[in-house]
Amino acid sequence: MKQGSVSFVGAGPGAADLITLRGARRIAEADVVVWAASLVMEECVVEHARADAELVDSSQIAHEDVLALYRRAAAEGLAVARVHSGDPSLWGAVQEQYDAAVEIGLAVEIVPGVSAFGAAAAAAGRELTIPEVAQSVVLCRLEGGKTPMPEREKLREFARHGTTMAIFLSAARTSQMVDELRAGGYPDDTPVVVAYRTTWPDEQTIRCRLDEVEGVCKERKLWRQTLFLVGAALGAKGTRSHLYHAGHFHTFRKPDAEARRALRAARSATP
């Protein structure tokens, strides 16, 4: 009998055609597909699963029920595709399942997916990292709520970096979130993208200022499944990247001599 297996598949932010080719293959190969109907678009599963595959809606069962299914997969040599929204590595409760599956004796893999923060930036037509404006992205959530946070992980402390932030799981407490961002140093005119169910049919992408966020969420009743992108990069125009400058060189390209001198002069003049 073949070894049972489980593949943790990132389904992407919503749209069925944003799942990876590998993720779609793992669903097509699976004897059992476990997915959260509340978070993953039905087409992501139905379009790829075999007609005879067992489909299990994880929103209706507890962790212990999933482990019982994994034990059955090990005993019967079944292939399981455990489909998560976005990318499994972010707030996916995957690690506890992964460790248990290994202990049970299943072959295990994680198939990455497109995270909602990248999809939200794309929907807004923005780049999260702009030269000389922001070169880092902080992925975080507001402290408090149902899941305990490490003591040092406070939103206002992350905000002190002043770079781009992608804030998950915080829409129900927008007033507190805005207060924490202000306390960390973001001014009221900081650009914000409010992204609700990005790439789903009912998606909403709203560009506003930090001091408008609470009003936007109240007016549109955005309490769940809403992501916030925050930072100056979201309002900046693209600056010239040195990577593709004619005066820049790397392993595959030699610089233009005159452009190289101009680039050096510009760098020297920058304070």
Q: Domains in the chain: how many in total?
A: 2
Of 177, 207, 209, 212, give the one whose Cα is nearest residue 195. 207
CATH of the domain at 212: 3.30.950.10
159 and 66, same structural domain?
no
199 and 103, same structural domain?
no
pTM: 0.87
168 and 130, same structural domain?
yes
Given 114, 139, 174, the domain boundary residue is 114
Amino acid 151: pLDDT: 83
Mean local confidence (pLDDT), 156-184? 96
> What's the rounded Cα separation, in Å, for the pair 190 and 212?
10
21 and 79, same structural domain?
yes
151 and 109, same structural domain?
no
pLDDT, averaged across the chain = 91
Buried b (16+ CB within 10 A) or exposed e, 118-130: bbbbbbbebbbeb
97 and 192, same structural domain?
no
Of 233, 180, 178, 234, give the one whose Cα is nearest residue 211. 178
Domain range for 230 is 117-234
Amino acid 242: pLDDT: 62
CATH of the domain at 42: 3.40.1010.10
